[in-house]
């Protein structure tokens, strides 16, 4: 019995049979006789290329140039101030433990607060805490809002000035002038002391240079708060990921907050967090 042919040999056999059945090429045909067939093959890729070029030109013609009419942004709301001026109250000291200026009347504003305000499109006017009151109050009439910064001073002239500015802010809002106040860290602590009428209301917490989450209170509206324009995804991540930086030695727990009628009737708690000892403290409040 003869051995079974391999795949390669069968392929060879198939080629051989085709060559045998095909007639040999005519030696009398000239090269010019195959020219029409060659041009037919060349026309096909040429027409395809031309079609692609025309399609590309048509697509590009739909792109709107700056001089052409195109969808525009909504017109600015005349009721809104897109370039507000915010007054930031300076804090005693030089911000560098006296290395830059150890004068007793020195004060500073950390650049981070200025950049924070400017990043939102606002401009900044420094409210020097120990300048003459008439100058300070004149500046207050030139700004559209105030920011109280972080720090350490909880008594003396600084406390008195913060309280005086806070009363001015209340008076402006009561008169119908929308005049926001943002109090951060020490600023929040001072407002807690002023509104509660208790200078010893603050509690100690261990939240120094701590990354944490924010827990939103149930059934609380964030409309009109600092969280109003946060995307939903970011709001969810705030409660699950440690995106917030805490740096506090003092604060107030929700329990003590609710026990003080002056506080709980003035503010509503928006968010809380926990310190390194798992103690809960208020992070954000609003009127």
Q: Parallel, antiparallel, or unpaired: how do β-strands 203-212 and 107-108 relate?
A: unpaired
With contact defined as beta carbons under 8 Å apart, do 114 and 88 qualify? yes
In this structure, what is the dihedral angle of CA atoms 75, 80, 85, 87, given to the nearest 10 degrees?
Answer: -150
Relative orientation angle of helices 133-140 and 156-174, to the nearest 10 degrees: 40
Residue tagged 């701590």 (tokens) = 210
With contact defined as beta carbons under 8 Å apart, do 185 and 243 qualify? no
Beta bridge partners of residue 280, listed in sequence order: 274
Dig out the tokens for 120 from the structure.
């939102």
List CB contacts of 189: < 8 A, sequence separation 6 or more: 154, 202, 250, 251
Could you say which of 185, 242, 264, 282 is catalytic? 185
Q: Parallel, antiparallel, or unpaired: how do β-strands 145-148 and 85-89 relate?
A: parallel
C-alpha span between 181 and 257 (Å, rounded): 20
Beta bridge partners of residue 282, listed in sequence order: 272
Which ranges constitute the DSSP H helices of the chain?
7-21, 35-60, 111-118, 133-140, 156-174, 186-196, 232-240, 254-259, 261-266
With contact defined as beta carbons under 8 Å apart, do 90 and 107 qualify? yes
Active site residue 185: yes
Catalytic residues: 185
């Amino acid at each position: 019995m003869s051995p079974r042919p391999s795949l390669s040999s069968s392929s060879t056999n198939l080629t051989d049979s085709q060559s045998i059945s095909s007639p040999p090429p005519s030696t009398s045909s000239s090269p010019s006789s195959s020219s029409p067939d060659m041009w037919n093959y060349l026309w096909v890729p040429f027409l395809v290329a031309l079609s692609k070029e025309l399609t590309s030109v048509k697509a590009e013609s739909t792109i709107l140039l700056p001089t052409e009419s195109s969808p525009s942004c909504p017109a600015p709301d005349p009721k809104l101030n897109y370039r507000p001026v915010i007054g930031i109250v300076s804090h005693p000291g030089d911000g560098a433990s006296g290395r830059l200026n150890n004068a007793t009347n020195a004060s500073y504003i950390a650049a981070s607060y200025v950049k924070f305000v400017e990043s939102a499109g606002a401009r900044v006017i420094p409210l020097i805490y120990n300048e003459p009151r008439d100058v300070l109050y004149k500046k207050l009439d030139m700004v559209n809002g105030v920011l109280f910064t972080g720090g350490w001073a909880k008594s003396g002239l600084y406390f008195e000035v913060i309280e005086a500015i806070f009363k001015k802010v209340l008076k402006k809002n009561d008169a119908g002038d929308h005049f926001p106040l943002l109090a951060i860290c020490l600023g929040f602590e001072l407002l807690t002391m002023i509104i509660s009428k208790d200078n010893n209301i603050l509690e100690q917490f261990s939240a120094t240079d701590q990354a944490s989450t924010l827990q939103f209170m149930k059934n609380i509206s964030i409309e009109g708060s600092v969280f109003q324009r946060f995307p939903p995804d970011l709001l969810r991540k705030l409660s699950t990921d440690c995106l917030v930086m805490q740096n506090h030695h003092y604060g107030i727990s929700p329990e003590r907050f609710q026990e003080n009628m002056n506080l709980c009737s003035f503010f509503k708690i928006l968010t809380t967090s926990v310190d390194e000892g798992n103690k809960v403290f208020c992070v954000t409040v609003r009127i």
